């Protein structure tokens, strides 16, 4: 699954980089999303594979902090890039005549850099809060990676104020992106319904169908994992839910975009014919 996820996302990056016809804002965001997915799955699965081979689940305190920091950074990056892609589809469908002006290369680059900066700030905030605690020794986490929520529960000191800060930041970084996505698709659906022909409606909706599927997969598995762990205290169920959004989601994203996108399929076909 790890190899499929990495190779699939690398193929998306290769296809977009090799075909000048795909050098558009939509594919620029998709390329960055694929790179973020590679980083997201690479923070957890390689260590899990080593643990399975060595029959040891040990990790150092510094390694745990590094893994947690990268996991949060790439996860937040995924979230913000999906929001930027929703905004791109909103402008393309609702304001097509102004699309090239609004989604110029400078703005697209700024959106990606802003997503990266916010993601790094979020991950470092969690690290700074965790560093206030005494170094842990010989403690167990009922998951296959350093889940931030479980790491913070290991502290014996009062973490009420720290939890408030984390929940507020998490609510902001969760509420604003999902609100932006909902608003974008509300406007998109309203615009599509005003299109007179059924063919025009299908063409307009097909341009954002893959993105909508990835959004549902990302938020569905993520919310399912955290809501499931809050309701059920079974470590096994929590680990299975974590696998869904840390492994399965990055693996399925390339398939969703390549199978539902004619441009990507044509480019991959041409790349294959060149190699053969």
- Res. 101 pLDDT band, cuts 50 70 90: very high
Domains (range + CATH), the chain: 2-275 (1.20.1070.10)
What DSSP character marks residue 20? G
Mean pLDDT of the chain: 83
pLDDT at 158: 58
Within 10 angstroms of residue 186's Cβ, the number of other Cβ atoms is 11
Residue 118 has pLDDT above 80, yes or no: yes
- Res. 134 pLDDT band, cuts 50 70 90: low
CA distances from 49 to 38, 46, 84 (A): 16, 5, 33
Residue 174 has pLDDT above 80, yes or no: no
In 104-129, which positions are buried (b, 16+ CB within 10 angstroms) versus exposed (e)? eeebbeebbeebbebbeebbeebeeb
Within 10 angstroms of residue 200's Cβ, the number of other Cβ atoms is 12
* Mean pLDDT value across residues 82-88: 93
Look up the pTM and report it: 0.88
- Res. 91 pLDDT band, cuts 50 70 90: very high
Contacts made by residues 151-160, CB under 8 angstroms, sequence distance 24+ = 151/64, 151/68, 157/133
């Amino acid at each position: 699954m790890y190899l499929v996820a990495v190779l699939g996302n690398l193929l998306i990056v290769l296809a977009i980089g090799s075909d000048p016809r795909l050098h558009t804002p939509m594919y620029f965001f998709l390329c960055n999303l694929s790179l973020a997915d590679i980083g997201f799955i690479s923070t957890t699965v390689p260590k899990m594979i080593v643990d399975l081979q060595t029959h040891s689940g040990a990790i150092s305190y510094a390694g745990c902090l590094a893994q947690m920091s990268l996991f949060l950074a790439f996860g937040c990056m995924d979230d913000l890039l999906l929001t930027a892609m929703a905004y791109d589809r909103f402008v393309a469908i609702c304001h097509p005549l102004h699309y090239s002006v609004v989604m110029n290369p400078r703005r697209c680059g700024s959106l990606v850099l802003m997503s990266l900066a916010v993601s790094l700030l979020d991950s470092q905030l969690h690290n700074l809060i965790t560093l206030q605690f005494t170094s842990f020794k010989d403690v167990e986490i009922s998951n296959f990676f350093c889940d931030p929520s479980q790491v913070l529960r290991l502290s014996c000191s009062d973490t009420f104020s720290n939890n408030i800060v984390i929940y507020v930041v998490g609510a902001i970084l969760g509420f604003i992106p999902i609100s932006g996505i909902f608003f974008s698709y509300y406007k998109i659906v309203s615009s599509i319904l005003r299109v007179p022909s059924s063919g025009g409606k299908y063409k307009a909706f097909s341009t954002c169908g893959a993105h909508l599927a990835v959004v549902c997969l990302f938020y569905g598995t993520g919310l399912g994992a955290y809501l499931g762990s809050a309701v059920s205290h079974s470590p096994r169920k929590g680990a299975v839910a974590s696998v869904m959004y840390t492994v399965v989601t990055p693996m399925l994203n390339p398939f969703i975009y390549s199978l539902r996108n004619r441009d990507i399929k044509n480019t991959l076909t041409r790349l294959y014919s060149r190699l053969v």
